Amino acid sequence: MQHNKILIRQLGLQPYEPVSQAMHEFTDARDEDTLDEIWLVEHHPVFTQGQAGKAEHVLVPGDIPVIQSDRGGQVTYHGPGQQVMYVLLDLKRRKLGVRELVTLLEQTVVNTLAEYSIESHPRATPLASMSANAKSALWDCGSVKVVLSTVWRLISPWISHRFCVSTPAAMPVWR
């Protein structure tokens, strides 16, 4: 098997819960021969509440569902107009540490936005050097919001990361 390849899946517009469940099933079923994958998806409107989230953090959900998540952080809105990228990698096989992967993802965000003539800069404190309790970072890039957050399952030797790019059309819900 060619372990240097990464399978990229374009999932389109999907509900959050089935994608989250599929990601967990993929991770649980992995073995040393499983190809790494990147999933690109937009979700139907949903608030996900991370492990540090509290009910009072969701101010006015309206008709938008609130779903508990195993990621770090507090509350995150997902919806149409927000491209979510789930990175499902075997870091040991790729000889990458978590901090190195996060730094590479940060640079990927900067490079990708530059392709669309959007200047961006990660926070002054890179996510890779933040404490274990700070598991997300925002980019300063004008009209586009970018979030990189760490999602991992301690029972698994594999780590999943994600980042989201939101267009101005997606912003009114969480502004």
42: containing domain? 6-173
CA 105 to chain centre: 10
Model confidence pLDDT, tens digit, residues 113-128: 788 777 776 655 554 4
pLDDT higher at 24 or 155: 24
Q: Report the CATH number at residue 120.
A: 3.30.930.10
Give the per-residue pLDDT at 84: 84
Predicted TM-score (pTM) of this structure: 0.73
- Percent of the chain at pLDDT above 90? 17
H or E, element range at 73 = none
CA 34 to chain centre: 21
Within a domain: 141: yes
Within a domain: 1: no
User: Domain count of the chain?
Assistant: 1
CA 107 to chain centre: 14
Exposed/middle/buried for 35, CB within 10 Å: 0-12, 13-18, 19+?
middle
Q: Looking at 16-20, 31-35, 80-84, 142-146, which range is the least confident one?
A: 142-146
Average pLDDT of 84-109? 82
